[in-house]
Amino acid sequence: MSKQRKFEKVRVFYEKRATILKALAHPVRLFIIDELAKKEKCVCELRDLVGSDISTVSKHLLLLKNAGLVKDRKQGLQVFYSLQVSCVLKFFDCVEAVIGAEQQRYQATRRKAA
Amino acid sequence: MSKQRKFEKVRVFYEKRATILKALAHPVRLFIIDELAKKEKCVCELRDLVGSDISTVSKHLLLLKNAGLVKDRKQGLQVFYSLQVSCVLKFFDCVEAVIGAEQQRYQATRRKAA
DNA sequence: GGCTTATTTTACCAAATAGCCAAATAAGCT
DNA sequence: AGCTTATTTGGCTATTTGGTAAAATAAGCC
């Protein structure tokens, strides 16, 4: 019983982590993060870049904000969003490494098959 | 038209990134990754630790494997999984920082309200 | 106040995900 | 081959997520 169901005891901890990662786990949101890393942008600018309904973009931004990844600043009619946590960018290097390794394995398999 | 719908041109790139992050975006899978970082484990060990149906655990592992994050090794009746990409662990430090900052903001708000 | 523009919220539908059980597969043992 | 154990796969339902359109808010301008 000692090691069993260890997860139950740490569930809340991992749920918090998962919230952050869920916020990142969407192509549009990852794109938005990269854009905001360059420069703060208003919702309408992001809508033009992304090309979907502004309400959709707004929801993506709310999700990122609730996760603590971006912050917003109101200026007149517009709301400008900017990146709150720059360390996420470093993580993408790791993600790229995973993708690269994956492709290498795929090509190795193809060579073997040929 | 120059900057508009930029996302369409880079969509595939961000979809690949999102695949990796989706694989990470689940409390049980994050727990499994931490466990595998310590030591390779068979599916039944992980089932005991997690406490859900073995088929559920197996599916989580398949997902992590397809994302290139873990690898498997068959030994007799058992299948042992281990962490393939250790750099994900470093990212969790960033995630913890986000959570920490979030809590600080929350407490600051409470102080203001009180 | 009324008009316009930017953003958010609500309501609703479609698609994806997570979980469990049962059946199928795989590997060892006698 | 028959039995047992470990894991994977398929089928099903419940829940969550993603998207759009329409309504509601918010801020500026006349």
Domain presence at residue B96: no
Domain presence at residue B42: yes
What is the C-alpha to C-alpha distance for residues B84 and A110, in angstroms, rounded to an integer? 21
Burial status of residue A51 (CB atoms within 10 A of its CB: 0-12, 13-18, 19 or more)? middle
Which of A5, A67, A92 lies closest to B17 in CB terms? A92
Report the mean per-residue pLDDT for chain B: 92
Give the count of domains, chain A: 1
Range scoring the smallest mean pLDDT among A4-8, A40-44, B80-84 = A4-8
Average pLDDT for residues A68-84, to the nearest whole number? 97
Strand partners, B35: none
Nucleotide D25: closest residue by CA–C1': A77
Closest CA to A30 of A83, A72, A101: A83
Closest CA to B32 of B70, B87, B79: B70
- pLDDT tens profile A33-58: 999 999 999 999 999 999 999 999 99
Domain presence at residue A11: yes
Whether residue B64 contacts residue B29, with contact meaning beta carbons closer than 8 Å, is answered with: yes
Question: Which residues in chain A have their CB less than 8 angstroms from residue B96's CB?
Answer: 17
Here the CATH number for the domain that contains residue B66 is 1.10.10.10
Distance from CA of B114 to the nearest CA of A (A): 22
Task: Please give the single-letter amino acid code of residue B69.
Answer: L
**Nearest nucleotide to A42 by CA–C1' distance?**
C6
Residue B112 clears pLDDT 80, i.e. is over it: no
Question: Which residues in chain B have their CB less than 8 angstroms from residue A22's CB?
Answer: 25
Residue B110 clears pLDDT 70, i.e. is over it: no
Residue A82 clears pLDDT 50, i.e. is over it: yes
Domain presence at residue A99: no
Domain of A45 in residue numbering reads as 6-85
What is the C-alpha to C-alpha distance for residues B104 and B87, in angstroms, rounded to an integer? 27
Task: Please give the single-letter amino acid code of residue A104.
Answer: Q
Closest CA to A59 of A81, A39, A74, A38: A81
Give the tokens for residue B23. Answer: 């694989």
Residue B96 clears pLDDT 80, i.e. is over it: yes
Average pLDDT for residues A91-95, to the nearest whole number? 89
pLDDT band at B2 (very low <50, low <70, confident <90, very high): low
Q: Which nucleotides of D are covered by protein (CB under 7 A)?
A: 5-10, 17-23, 26-28
Question: Which residues in chain B have their CB less than 8 angstroms from residue A50's CB?
Answer: 5, 7
